[in-house]
Amino acid sequence: MRRVGLLTSGGDCQALNAVMRGLAKALYSNYEDMEIIGFKDGYKGLIKGDYTVMAPECFSGLLMRGGTILGTSRQPFKLMRVVEADGIDKVDEMKKNYKNLKLDCIFVLGGNGSQKTANLLSEEGLNIIGLPKTIDNDLYGTDMTFGFHSALAMATTVLDNIHTTAASHGRVFIVEVMGHKVGWLTLYAGISSGADIILIPEIPYDIRIVTGAINERTLQGKKYSILAVAEGAISKETAKLGKKEQKEKLKNRKYPSVAYEVGAQISELTGQEVRVTVPGHMQRGGTPTPFDRILSTRIGAKAMQLYKDKEFGRMVAVLGDEITSIPLSETAGRLKTVDPKASIIKEARSIGICFGDK
């Protein structure tokens, strides 16, 4: 009997179930003696030994079902080696459960923090295979993560819908897009929905340039402007501060988020009517797009292949058209950010999109 573990960790996304289905189908078709253990609520389940045995039927009907049937949680990496008040060392607990359950390997579906923990467990001697999840697309070493495409579709729909109401009322509309500290989702959603101004963390903005672009549009007779603003976007002044001061400044901001701050400044400086929309977690909900379903199936199949080839301590990665893999140690703790000099930024600028910097 072979037994492998499976867990989904960190923020959920639309394609987690689709990936688990792809992986399970590949495992069950390649091994007759396979048993899959699903840990509940991410690393929490592995720490507590809270799991369920997942027969092949558990994975039926999952391709188009968003969220995760296993549940998830955020388990901060920095707490991992801290022995809690009750004397529990979480890493030791995970190792113990791995051993007691006689696992061959654990498949970790997760983003940045989760792959960092996956790497730690791999360094501790467990057989680990990572699968790259996040709507933020910020995992280093992979061109794409599953979940990104579906969140992009959702953010685009929001921006598309905002267009018609903005046009009717002649207002400035700001849509705040998720993405944590990076601008992938905002950049792509902004371009795909025809936003006029895109603000991302990698290109700090000057509010005078933003309002200048809006005024210019008004002079050209354009009745409305649409801004796609990343939740992590920062102004040039804030970007100049040290990390600690930046954190302090953002914590003490008088507005709930960057979109509201930018909105208030635009209203004051241009005199135009401004509305802010924050779609939030809607971007992570619903069904995966066809692209994500295909990507998820391929990623699941590749993870099985890594297991078969005993290539542990690696994360499945997307490189162009190929599904490949990289060492977990290479991706752990590293962010993939948007390069402000990237060709996509140049192309966006050349059609007149303003990034608030020049």
Binding region for ligand F6P (CB under 6 A)? 11, 74, 111, 134-136, 178-180, 231, 284
Catalytic position from the list 12, 136, 138, 292: 136
Residue 7 or residue 135: which is nearer to ligand F6P going by CB?
135
Contact (CB, 8 A) for 163 and 296: no
Angstrom distance (rounded) from CA 119 to CA 128: 8
Q: Is 136 a catalytic residue?
A: yes
* DSSP track, 127-191: -EEEEEB-TT--BTT-S--BTHHHHHHHHHHHHHHHHHHHHHHT-EEEEEE--TT--HHHHHHHH
Extract the annotated binding site for Mg(2+).
112
CB 206 to ligand F6P: min, Å:
24
Residue whose Cβ sits closest to ligand F6P: 178
Contact 167, 223 (CB under 8 A): yes
Q: d(Cα 97, Cα 122) in Å, to the nearest integer? A: 15
Rounded to the nearest whole angstrom, what is the least distance from the CB of residue 74 to ligand F6P in the complex? 6
Q: Are 7 and 109 a contacting pair, CB within 8 Å?
A: yes
Residue 243: CB minimum distance to ligand F6P, A:
18
Residue 50's CB is within 10 A of a number of other CB atoms, namely 14
Please report which helix (H) or strand (E) contains residue 317, including its range.
strand 314-319
231 or 292, CB closer to ligand F6P?
231
Nearer Cβ to ligand F6P (14/97):
14
Q: CB-wise, 11 or 38, nearer to ligand F6P?
A: 11
> 149 is written with which tokens?
């495409």
Shortest reach from residue 298's CB to ligand F6P, in Å: 22
Residues placed in the known binding site for substrate: 134-136, 171, 178-180, 231, 275, 281-284
Catalytic positions are 136
